[in-house]
Amino acid sequence: MSDRTTCWLLGDQLNTDLDVLDAADDVLLIEAHGFADRKPYHAHKLTLVFSAMRHFRDDLRERGHDVTYVRAASFGEGLDEFFAERATGADDGDDAEPRLRLMRPASHGAGERLRELVADRGGTLELVDNELFWTTPADWSEWSGEGETVGDDEPLLGDDGAAERTYRQEHWYRHVRRETGVLMDDGEPVGGEWNYDDLNQETPPDDWEPPARPTFEPDELTRETHAWVRERFDTWGNDSLDGFAWPVTRGEAREALDRFVRDGLPAFGRYQDAMAGGEPFLSHSLLSPAINLGLLDPREPVRAVERAYEKRGIEPGAYDPTERGGSDAGATSLDDFGSDEAEGDGDAAEGDDGDAAEGDDGDAAEGDEPAPVPLNAVEGFIRQVIGWREFMRHVYREAMPELAEANQLDQDRELPPAYWDGETDMRCLSEAVGHVREFGYAHHIERLMVLSNFALVYGADPAELNEWFHLGFVDAYHWVTTPNVVAMGSFGTDVLSSKPYASSGNYVNKMSDHCADCRYAVSRTTGEGACPFNALYWDFLKENEETLRGTGRMGLMYSHVDGKDDAEWESIRERADRVRELARSGEL
């Protein structure tokens, strides 16, 4: 009887250095493309996913692996073809059942469904831990308190989205740093503080130029893949190769990592929450697509950033990217809402993992001394990876399947047309949607505080918003978007936050230059020409008062709600209704 074991790797497990490959006799890759027939995905996303998978196939073969690559509409059809080939190629008399080994998929229930597909065809599928996450389900259970977690027959979320148990990212983040030793010094955080978020909310001056985006010229295989995508599928967004510069191989991903650590990391912390007109990328790493495809292991960027700090590190906040010895740019913390000066603001989050990325300690060009790396930039980046990315993955595991439909605020409006065509006079929304349409990307503050925030105060259905993110972003997968969009951005559940991340236009005004060039006045709440965010925000608080009053740190904001008289509320409601009417008709 044969002991042959096939390593089956999925399209988001594209790493040649996996331990699971070592014990395999051969490798199976199934390019199941039927999902792209059902919905209009961004053309760059499909090009990236399929090109990366095809390059990975070729890389494995160059390394001596026996690779079966099947293109089919579904995994079931792909397995049919694989099993038929295996039966045809089997030695006479060898009737051993095919044995496959697969790293457990990140998407809820996928592992069990694939195991059933294999069993239905007479084979066996062994599921092993996914090496492309730093922490395991066992690590999470140990931290969260094994035995205290909700059992398999007791869903974590109730029918209304309310969680039986809640989790907080900051607690998890500190635990992981202690366990891994990342950015630790003799059991204490390097620099004496766990979190330097208060140093990471500045906006750049107008004349500051961010580092150039790494570009990778599409090769023949990528061009062929892109042509096939355009011909085969109905897509959304920019369908040309113009602007497509995502890494499609591990080598390109590591080069992008080098570039970020060398050029982007120094300014990343200070400006990581800023938004600037005409600047989609700023100093962000742009590595989340490579990480989520598996081209980079999450340990790589973290260790690379640590190494950069060891070589070039300076005190937190000590590096001025403008090289002017200081900055007069405004700053605001995403958790610093509710002051009398910022009455119009709600509470926002410190960031999501949608832009979590990696970095390697690349060498600067000869004669070009790389800039110093301040501790706040290093800590902020590491928090995105081992804090947010790992945290969201485990919350997703715990809260699914209820998480996908969680909607504790009962919001059910359809997304306005501006999310698809970008046609709106709201400068911030037009910019953010435009970035998604053009590149399949927007950074984490645009995702959270513009795209999700507007949908939240507008009253959009969280599930529809989640699907929109999934279709449009090159780094989006169900396990990524669902906790970020449904729980964090839409407050469909309180499983990972005690308050909605909602804001008036004041936050956008502080963290961007959008409002200065917008036809809407951020200083006004009511009347024609008033910033749509403002009336929608107050109307959102009023409409959801029963759920939100007394929640988390909402007390101060509801003191402002209580301070408004009936006439003011009538004007707010009138303006909010008008904004929603304009948004629905595509005239906002």
What pLDDT does residue 85 have?
Answer: 86
What pLDDT does residue 90 have?
Answer: 58
Query: Are residue 104 and residue 213 in the same domain, yes or no?
Result: no
Q: How confident is the model at residue 155 (pLDDT cuts 50, 70, 90)?
A: confident
Query: 462, 489, 516 — which closes off a domain?
Result: 489
Query: Are residue 113 and residue 200 in the same domain, yes or no?
Result: no
pLDDT at 414 over 90: yes
The per-residue pLDDT of the chain, averaged, comes to: 88
Range of the domain at 84: 5-128
Distance CA 18, CA 9 (A): 10
What pLDDT does residue 317 have?
Answer: 86
Q: How confident is the model at residue 2 (pLDDT cuts 50, 70, 90)?
A: low
pLDDT at 112 over 70: yes
Residue 452 located in a structural domain:
yes
Query: Are residue 243 and residue 362 in the same domain, yes or no?
Result: yes
Distance CA 503, CA 335 (A): 11
Q: How confident is the model at residue 164 (pLDDT cuts 50, 70, 90)?
A: confident
Domain of 64: which CATH number?
3.40.50.620
Which helix H or strand E contains 582, and what residues bound it?
Answer: helix 566-584
Distance CA 483, CA 404 (A): 8
pLDDT at 348 over 70: no
Residue 526 located in a structural domain:
no
Query: Are residue 43 and residue 120 in the same domain, yes or no?
Result: yes
Query: Are residue 92 and residue 200 in the same domain, yes or no?
Result: no
Query: 434, 459, 489 — which closes off a domain?
Result: 489
Lowest-confidence range among 69-78, 143-152, 281-290, 518-527? 143-152
Distance CA 485, CA 222 (A): 30
Query: Are residue 213 and residue 97 in the same domain, yes or no?
Result: no
Query: Are residue 105 and residue 240 in the same domain, yes or no?
Result: no
Say if residues 540 and 588 touch (Cβ distance below 8 Å).
Answer: no
Say if residues 286 and 523 touch (Cβ distance below 8 Å).
Answer: no
What pLDDT does residue 318 have?
Answer: 84
Partnered with residue 6 across adjacent β-strands are 26, 100
Query: Are residue 65 and residue 118 in the same domain, yes or no?
Result: yes
Per-residue exposure over 358-378, b if at least 16 CB sit within 10 Å of its own CB, e if not:
bbbbbeeeeeeebbbbbbbbb
Query: Mean pLDDT, to the nearest integer, of 160-176?
Result: 86
What pLDDT does residue 544 have?
Answer: 94
Instruction: Give the three-state DSSP class for 124.
Output: strand
Distance CA 501, CA 506 (A): 14
DSSP letter at 493?
-
| N-terminal to C-terminal alpha carbon distance within the chain | 68
What pLDDT does residue 358 have?
Answer: 36
Distance CA 167, CA 488 (A): 12
Give 222 or 146, the one with higher predicted confidence: 222
Per-residue exposure over 511-521, b if at least 16 CB sit within 10 Å of its own CB, e if not:
bbbbbeebebe
What pLDDT does residue 163 have?
Answer: 72
Query: Mean pLDDT, to the nearest integer, of 28-39?
Result: 96
Lowest-confidence range among 87-91, 105-109, 216-220? 87-91
Residue 515 located in a structural domain:
no
pLDDT at 150 over 90: no
pLDDT at 576 over 60: yes
pLDDT at 329 over 90: no
pLDDT at 545 over 80: yes
Domain of 413: which CATH number?
1.25.40.80
pLDDT at 161 over 50: yes
pLDDT, tens digit, 9 for 90 and up, residues 467-497: 999 999 999 999 999 999 999 999 999 999 9
pLDDT, tens digit, 9 for 90 and up, residues 528-544: 999 999 999 999 999 99
Say if residues 31 and 71 touch (Cβ distance below 8 Å).
Answer: yes
Lowest-confidence range among 12-16, 140-144, 293-297, 519-523? 140-144
What pLDDT does residue 206 have?
Answer: 87
What pLDDT does residue 129 have?
Answer: 95
Q: Of all residues in the chain, what percent carry a pLDDT higher than 90?
A: 78
Q: How confident is the model at residue 146 (pLDDT cuts 50, 70, 90)?
A: low
What pLDDT does residue 144 have?
Answer: 87
Give 364 or 27, the one with higher predicted confidence: 27
What pLDDT does residue 243 have?
Answer: 85
Query: Are residue 284 and residue 350 in the same domain, yes or no?
Result: yes
Give 372 or 341, the one with higher predicted confidence: 372
Say if residues 474 and 45 touch (Cβ distance below 8 Å).
Answer: yes
pLDDT at 31 over 80: yes
Is-cis flag, bond preceding 401, omega within 30? yes
Residue 576 located in a structural domain:
no
Query: 429, 459, 489 — which closes off a domain?
Result: 489
Query: Are residue 106 and residue 189 in the same domain, yes or no?
Result: no
Q: How confident is the model at residue 95 (pLDDT cuts 50, 70, 90)?
A: low
Lowest-confidence range among 210-214, 416-420, 570-574? 210-214
What pLDDT does residue 153 have?
Answer: 58
Query: Are residue 94 and residue 194 in the same domain, yes or no?
Result: no
Helix 532-543 to helix 566-584 angle (10° resolution) is 110
Query: Mean pLDDT, to the nearest integer, of 396-422?
Result: 96
Domain count, the chain: 2
Lowest-confidence range among 26-30, 114-118, 271-275? 271-275
Q: How confident is the model at residue 322 (pLDDT cuts 50, 70, 90)?
A: confident
Query: Are residue 236 and residue 379 in the same domain, yes or no?
Result: yes
The pair of three-digit structure tokens given for residue 16, joined into one six-digit string:
């040649």
Within a 10 A sphere around the Cβ of 168, how many other Cβ atoms?
Answer: 11
Please choose, from the candidates 334, 315, 285, 337, the residue with its C-alpha nearest in 3D space to the C-alpha of residue 475. Answer: 285
Residue 307 located in a structural domain:
yes
Distance CA 265, CA 285 (A): 8
